[in-house]
Structure 1
Amino acid sequence: MKKTLFTAILFHLSLLLSAQETFYLVQFKDKNPTNFSLSNPEEYLSEASINRREMMNIAIDSSDLPVVQSYIDAVASTGATIWYPLKWFNAVIVSNTNTAEIEKIASVEKVMNMSDKTMGGIEEDEKTEAYDYGKAKQQNELLGIDKMHKDGHKGEGIHVAVLDAGFKNYTTNPYFNELKLGEAYDFYSKNSNVADDHNHGADVLSTMAAYDEGSFVGGAPEATYYLYRTENTSYESRIEELMWVAAAERADSIGVDIIQSSLGYYDFDDASQNYTQSDLNGKTAWITLGANHAYTKGILVVSSAGNEGAGYWKKISFPADSPFVLTVGSVNNTTLNKAITSSFGPTSDGRIKPDVMAAGEGAWVVKSTGTVSTANGTSFSAPQMAALCAGLIQALPEGTTPMDVITRLRRSGDKASAPDSLYGFGIPNYERALLITDLEENESLFKKVKVYPNPVNDTIIKVELPSKLKNIELEFTWFTMAGQMLQSQKSSNEKSIELLNVPASHRGQYLLLRVSTEEYYKTFKVKVN
């Protein structure tokens, strides 16, 4: 029997472009013949990306390794057009091919339709003055961004990737003359020109990066921005989810701190690809799995909740359902009431979403025409929150994790004492988030939690708890590296060592074990032999 080199799972996107182009995802079984090593990550990750992992104590693992080139070459030999490898999914996006040609490769095990949703991959001097914000004054002050700027935290040294449909005229719009650009890339045209596409991304970007004192100043004007076009407005297809993942992987390899995404998906031109509300569980949609992966790499993903509150769907869209994403809803800029169109939760597994709220109805933006006007939608509340996150990360100690930031923002919300699935934890505030002192106490406490043996060879793993965590209800939850929840159990007793069952069906893999209280949790990476 011929040895199988890899297993490819083929997904058909049922996407017809003007050139009748059809997309597929080919997923491989392993990365065994790789030319790269986990001990030499500088060969495939930037210094900034490696440093981010070290500061957050995140191990470099097989999901960081590039897809094996010989596997990609084998697929290309069928005549398929290669688009992008996805190392987190161990896959490659291809087009203009057919199942018969792919099946000629001896290592292809089976072919599955793309709409099968069960498959998927988790130094300047510090300034102390605030700005004359112009039209952006009210929405910036709502989040305490003015106080953040007075503290000298305007996003300097923070790298933000913006994933959107295009950034029309950003190169000629005078409000972006001071923009600190890391790079721009169009994942469809495969070039650096994103200024000739849709205006949505430029409008979104303005709430963070636009700068013209007295007229409009965004929330993080000194951050460095990476502009990625992953959305194609000429159609609605799940290929857009995969382009999002490709961009997220690129952002990770460069060393980005925040991914800001005002995109959301749930229905498509091909109805067979549609998601259902039961899929809002944080572990089904490809874009959600990609966001989960970004989180495991130490990236904070900030996503709009969606604008379906008054439509038939009503709920949040994907990837806003991820437990590892900061999901942002929308309030009216004047009344602070929830915007009618703002999508709400909860998730299908009962989690509160959105997490927080910002001004999105009557929000001020800079249009691609160079004019300042109002716009509506969570598309504009989410980037304001991302700007607040940039300043918070700058203000907090090195190594502050994405979940630390999310927890601070939730607990600083004006509805934190009684969160719900319309407002989440409410409207957060910079000063309140910064001054939450018991969060550091929790962080210090959870650093004393020990999980061993790791790697674990048995069916039981031990969690050693400090004395202050005894007699407190704890939840122990296992996830795959893609963020798929496997099993969960709660415990509240006097034991200093908790014995947990290891998921039996995931031997030979890395898993995530989350130990949590109602207000705080820490995630441990466990190798299961």
Structure 2
Amino acid sequence: MNKIFLFLICLLTSNLLEAQQNVYAFRVSFKNKNGTLSFADSLQFLSQTALNRRSKQGISLDSTDLPIVQHYIDTTVIVSNAIGVHNKSKWFNQIVVLTYDSSKVADILALPIVQDVKLVAVSTLGNFKMKSNEEKKIDKFPDVEPITVKKTRGTPLTYGTAFQQIDMINGDCLHDMGYKGEGIKIAVFDVNFRRVDSCNAYSTLRQQGRIKDSYDFARDTPFVYSMGVPSDHGMNVMGCMAAYEPGTYVGTAPNADFYLYITEASAYEFPIEEDNWLSAAERADSIGVDMINSSLGYNKFDAPLHLSSYTYADLNGHKTLIAKTANMAVAKGIFVANAQGNEGAGAWHYLLTPADGDSVFSVGSVDGSGIWASSGYGPNASGQIKPDAVALGKAAMLIGGDCAPGASSGSSFATPILCGGIACLWQALPTLTTWQLRQIVRMSGSKYSVLENGTDSSTAFTLGYGIPNLCKAFEIATNTSDIQNINYHFALYPNPTNGIFTVNSFNQQQDLFSYTIMDLQGKVIKQSDRVYQNGFTSDALNHLPSGTYILLLSTHHQIYSTKIIKQ
């Protein structure tokens, strides 16, 4: 009896010490993928749906699609004495291992297969793994006869308290045409989705089986409805798109399919959350998701990793891991909408990452009158206009913790409101690429013409291209003369410029291009004597007087033209 009691005491003590002991998370990058699978084995690492999405947009497979060499993972686990592999990334050829022994970093670095090692988190095991008694049984939602969401007129009687926010972007116009997001796959990256499995606002979503996948990448479990995580944020965000209670509250994409991914850890703010976001993005890509909605953003990290925090200069669109990840997702054919952040009125002042991403569609917030409402200022550190667009974020209506509609504020809610509307637009225009979709939404914005004409750039870094009109975007896309110039996408920034400007090329075919600068009378001022593929920076406007000029970017397929303003 005493021996049994002593054994139990030792076991409990051991478990307690393990729970309190620090776990170190190291991001390990490998030098190559020698010996991995070939492209002929693509169905082993990408679904047919994902391959179809790539094919539709003319996107080829490349080395970033190939898996990490398993031998590299196994070797690193052994050398680091790892208790687990928390993240794997084929895109960046890296993993995150968890270990109790921080001294193992030297042994990992000594491996000839390893390029780099970085500490990305220090916490206790419970913050990386969900406790078994916290996770209730994970069942599929009950199968029932599908419920048809009927076509309705866009009125407050239909949308209830959500009418103002969909009316602002003219998303109800798309609903009236019958486009409510059917067939569009939206991955939602957030902190928790508790009550999505129980609130009546999501009953249609559950009954139709349109929650297609879920995973908590922060705590390594498929369960995403934990009541132990003190946040309803993910559920609030979901309601802006997915809720369906006619006359009470209807979201902007009530018929879309949803993929619920937790990437944010509520217990800490560490760089590993970027790795979680990366894991979710790769899973979304491999499944064949069309869109990512992320109401998350980062700049500062907690001690002892506070020195890994970002400065504004780091937010240049392609430096942080999470921005590179978001850009990569777009390169794979996924439309990424990310919240601008809410730091505009605070000491930080600027946007957060990955909203700074070159290829990311960043969303700021306005009030009901269309006035800026404290979202982070753009541009990104490279001068690119951010946000791309704005939507209602001050006193936006959402589904609250009591499962009833309530008001809250932030770009966290402006983003899904607009993302859901864009999903309906993509349903209506399924042949568009992500770049075309992004550009027509910008072109429909309330500030697009004044930015293009250079008549008023005063709100460029608070409102971006303004409040989109999604039915206007539909009209733009169905006008062949307008859509022609969107087949090849180039990012030009800063614009207006003091003389130096940068052009980045994002066209899917990676065509070579040259550039020409003309004045408004058609006189050629500068013509490049070389061709480019990814982009260039030029000081060609330095010696010119202030005014408006025409920039022509020429591929062997066509000529893209835009106005550039010299201040």
2:220 paired residue number? 190
* TM-score normalised per structure 1: 0.80
2:34 paired residue number? 32
**Residue 396 of structure 2: which of 353, 363, 376 is its match?**
363
Q: Distance in 1 between matches of 2:550 and 2:462?
A: 34
CA 1:488 to 1:209, structure 2 compared with 1: closer, same or farther past 3 Å? Answer: same
Matched, 1:89 2:92: yes
Matched, 1:248 2:248: no
Matched, 1:415 2:447: yes
Question: 1:90-119: per-residue Cα shift (whole Å, max 9, x none)?
Answer: 11111115213324534446655659xxxx
CA 1:515 to 1:87, structure 2 compared with 1: closer, same or farther past 3 Å? Answer: farther
**Cα offset for 1:186?**
0.7
Alignment of 1:64-463 (within 5 A): 64-78=65-79, 79-80=81-82, 81-96=84-99, 97=101, 98-103=104-109, 105-108=111-114, 111=117, 128-130=151-153, 132-179=158-205, 180-196=210-226, 197=229, 198-269=231-302, 270-333=305-368, 335-339=369-373, 341-398=374-431, 400-419=432-451, 420-436=460-476, 440-441=480-481, 443-444=483-484, 463=513
Please give the secondary structure, in 1, of the residue aligned with 2:23. coil
CA 1:441 to 1:465, structure 2 compared with 1: closer, same or farther past 3 Å? Answer: farther
Alignment of 1:458-473 (within 5 A): 463=513
CA 1:67 to 1:308, structure 2 compared with 1: closer, same or farther past 3 Å? Answer: same
Please give the secondary structure, in 1, of the residue aligned with 2:437. helix
CA 1:172 to 1:498, structure 2 compared with 1: closer, same or farther past 3 Å? Answer: closer
**Cα offset for 1:495?**
11
Paired amino acid for 1:69: Q
Q: Distance in 2 between matches of 1:147 and 1:235?
A: 42
Please give the secondary structure, in 2, of the residue aligned with 1:302. strand
Matched, 1:50 2:55: no
Question: 1:308-359: per-residue Cα shift (whole Å, max 9, x none)?
Answer: 01111111100011121111000012x22110x2111111111111111100
Matched, 1:518 2:562: yes
Paired amino acid for 1:153: Y
CA 1:455 to 1:58, structure 2 compared with 1: closer, same or farther past 3 Å? Answer: closer
Extract unaligned runs of 5+ from structure 1: 1-15, 116-122, 480-485, 500-513, 521-529
**Cα offset for 1:496?**
11
Paired amino acid for 1:316: L
Q: Contact 1:332 / 1:359 at 8 angstroms: preserved in 2?
A: yes
**Cα offset for 1:438?**
8.5
Q: Which moved more, 1:487-496 or 1:286-295?
A: 487-496
Please give the secondary structure, in 1, of the residue aligned with 2:403. coil
CA 1:516 to 1:69, structure 2 compared with 1: closer, same or farther past 3 Å? Answer: farther
Please give the secondary structure, in 2, of the residue aligned with 1:227. strand
**Cα offset for 1:519?**
7.5
Q: Distance in 2 between matches of 1:146 and 1:273?
A: 44
Q: Distance in 2 between matches of 1:169 and 1:447?
A: 42
Q: Distance in 1 between matches of 2:552 and 2:201?
A: 59
Paired amino acid for 2:41: N
Q: Distance in 2 between matches of 1:448 and 1:417?
A: 20
**Cα offset for 1:157?**
0.1
Q: Distance in 2 between matches of 1:43 and 1:350?
A: 40
Paired amino acid for 1:144: N
CA 1:176 to 1:488, structure 2 compared with 1: closer, same or farther past 3 Å? Answer: same
Question: 1:35-78: per-residue Cα shift (whole Å, max 9, x none)?
Answer: x2113311210111000110000011110111111111111112
Q: Contact 1:230 / 1:240 at 8 angstroms: preserved in 2?
A: yes
Question: 1:376-424: per-residue Cα shift (whole Å, max 9, x none)?
Answer: 10000000111011001101142x1111111111111111122411111
Question: 1:114-141: per-residue Cα shift (whole Å, max 9, x none)?
Answer: 59xxxxxxx9999542361110011111
**Cα offset for 1:188?**
2.6
CA 1:205 to 1:462, structure 2 compared with 1: closer, same or farther past 3 Å? Answer: closer
CA 1:393 to 1:490, structure 2 compared with 1: closer, same or farther past 3 Å? Answer: farther
CA 1:338 to 1:111, structure 2 compared with 1: closer, same or farther past 3 Å? Answer: closer
CA 1:388 to 1:473, structure 2 compared with 1: closer, same or farther past 3 Å? Answer: farther
Question: 1:360-380: per-residue Cα shift (whole Å, max 9, x none)?
Answer: 000000013212110010000
Matched length? 466
Q: Contact 2:512 / 2:532 at 8 angstroms: preserved in 1?
A: no
Please give the secondary structure, in 1, of the residue aligned with 2:40. coil
CA 1:30 to 1:439, structure 2 compared with 1: closer, same or farther past 3 Å? Answer: farther
**Cα offset for 1:471?**
6.4
Q: Distance in 1 between matches of 2:199 and 2:553?
A: 60
CA 1:415 to 1:447, structure 2 compared with 1: closer, same or farther past 3 Å? Answer: closer
Q: Distance in 2 between matches of 1:319 and 1:279?
A: 11
CA-atom RMSD in angstroms: 3.5
Q: Contact 1:167 / 1:194 at 8 angstroms: preserved in 2?
A: yes
CA 1:490 to 1:300, structure 2 compared with 1: closer, same or farther past 3 Å? Answer: farther
Q: Contact 2:365 / 2:414 at 8 angstroms: preserved in 1?
A: yes
Q: Distance in 1 between matches of 2:50 and 2:255?
A: 20
Please give the secondary structure, in 2, of the residue aligned with 1:83. strand
Q: Contact 2:440 / 2:477 at 8 angstroms: preserved in 1?
A: no
CA 1:465 to 1:277, structure 2 compared with 1: closer, same or farther past 3 Å? Answer: closer
Alignment of 1:4-15 (within 5 A): none
Q: Which moved more, 1:297-306 or 1:25-34?
A: 25-34
Q: Contact 1:303 / 1:382 at 8 angstroms: preserved in 2?
A: yes
Q: Distance in 2 between matches of 1:474 and 1:147?
A: 44
Aligned identity (percent) is: 35
Please give the secondary structure, in 2, of the residue aligned with 1:54. helix
